Structure 1
Amino acid sequence: MTVPGGNTNMIILGSNTNMMVLGGNTTAPGGVTKPLPNDNKPWNIMIMHTNDIDMHLDLFNLGSADCMAKHIADSKCGRGIVCINMVVDKLCAMHSQSYLLDGGDNIQGMLFNTYYKGKILADYMNAIKYNVTTVSNHKWDDGAANLDLVAPYMVLTKYGPNLGVIRFMTSVLNGIALLTSKIMVEDPVLVVQYAIEELHSKGIKHIICILHNRHQDNKPVTANMCSISLIVGGNSHMLLNKNASMADVQGPYPMDVKNLDGKLTYIVQAKKFGKWVGLINFSMILTVLPFQNFVVDNVVDSQYMKDLLENLASMQKAKQIKALILFGHVLGVCAVFDCKQLAGFKATKVMVNVKAVDGTVKLEPLNLKKQDVFVTIEFVAMGSGNIVPMPFTAPFGMLMLDEVLDFIKTFLDGKLLAFKDARLQ
Structure 2
Amino acid sequence: MNTNRRTFLKTLIGGGVALSLPLPLLAKASGQSLTILHTNDVHSHLEPFPVNHPKFPNQGGFARRATLIQQLRQKHSNVLLLDAGDIFQGTPYFNFFGGKPELELMSKMKYDAATIGNHEFDNGMDHLARQLQYANFPFISTNYDFSQTVLKDKIIPWKIIEKGPFRVGLIGLGVNPGGLVSPANYEGMKWLDPVETGEKTARFLKEEKKCNLVIALSHMGYTSAPDRPESDKKTAALTASIDIIIGGHSHTFMPKPEIVKNKVGKPVIINQVGWAGVILGHMEIIPDKKEPLFLATQHLIK
TM-score tier after normalising by the smaller chain length: 0.7 to 0.9
Letter in 1 for 2:193: D
2:98 to 98, 101, 117: 117
1:186 counterpart = 2:192: yes
Corresponding residue number in structure 2 for 1:390? none
Cα distance in 2 between the residues matched to 1:165 and 1:240? 22
Letter in 2 for 1:274: G
1:15-414 equivalent positions in 2, closer than 5 A: 40-61=29-50, 71=52, 76-147=57-128, 148=151, 149-171=154-176, 173-179=177-183, 185-200=191-206, 201-216=208-223, 217-241=231-255, 253-286=256-289, 288=290
Q: Secondary structure at the match of 2:282?
A: strand
Question: Greater Rg, structure 1 or structure 2?
Answer: 1
Cα distance in 1 between the residues matched to 2:221 and 2:211? 28
Letter in 1 for 2:234: P
Q: Residues 181 and 100 from structure 1, CA distance in 2 versus in 1: closer, same or farther, beyond 3 angstroms? A: closer
1:2 counterpart = 2:9: no
* Higher strand proportion: 2
CA offset at residue 110 of structure 1? 0.9
Q: Residues 83 and 10 from structure 1, CA distance in 2 versus in 1: closer, same or farther, beyond 3 angstroms? A: farther
TM-score by length of 2: 0.72
Percent identity of the aligned residues? 26
Residue deviations 1:227-263 (CA, integer Å, cap 9, x gap): 211100111111111xxxxxxxxxxx10121111211
What are the ranges of 5 or more consecutive residues in structure 2 without an aligned counterpart?
1-15, 129-150, 224-230, 294-302
Contact 1:10/1:284, CA 8 A, preserved across alignment? no
Cα distance in 2 between the residues matched to 1:51 and 1:37? 30
TM-score by length of 1: 0.52
Q: Secondary structure at the match of 1:133?
A: strand
Cα distance in 2 between the residues matched to 1:37 and 1:278? 24
Identify which of structures 1 and 2 has the higher relative contact order when contacts are C-alpha pairs closer than 8 Å and 6+ apart. Answer: 2
Residue deviations 1:84-113 (CA, integer Å, cap 9, x gap): 112212212222221111111111111111
Larger deviation, residues 194-203 vs 261-270: 194-203
Q: Residues 193 and 237 from structure 1, CA distance in 2 versus in 1: closer, same or farther, beyond 3 angstroms? A: same
Letter in 1 for 2:233: K
CA offset at residue 266 of structure 1? 1.0
Cα distance in 2 between the residues matched to 1:108 and 1:130? 19
Residue deviations 1:133-187 (CA, integer Å, cap 9, x gap): 111101111113334432111111132121111112143x324333468765231
CA offset at residue 204 of structure 1? 0.8
Residue deviations 1:242-301 (CA, integer Å, cap 9, x gap): xxxxxxxxxxx1012111121111110111111101111112114x4xxxxxxxxxxxxx
Q: Residues 44 and 37 from structure 1, CA distance in 2 versus in 1: closer, same or farther, beyond 3 angstroms? A: closer
Letter in 1 for 2:119: H
Give the RMSD, CA atoms, in angstroms. Answer: 2.7
Contact 2:44/2:102, CA 8 A, preserved across alignment? yes
Q: Secondary structure at the match of 2:35?
A: strand
Q: Residues 181 and 140 from structure 1, CA distance in 2 versus in 1: closer, same or farther, beyond 3 angstroms? A: closer
CA offset at residue 40 of structure 1? 4.9
What are the ranges of 5 or more consecutive residues in structure 1 without an aligned counterpart?
12-34, 62-66, 242-252, 289-400, 406-425
Q: Residues 38 and 256 from structure 1, CA distance in 2 versus in 1: closer, same or farther, beyond 3 angstroms? A: closer
Letter in 1 for 2:202: I
Q: Secondary structure at the match of 2:159?
A: strand
Contact 2:41/2:275, CA 8 A, preserved across alignment? yes
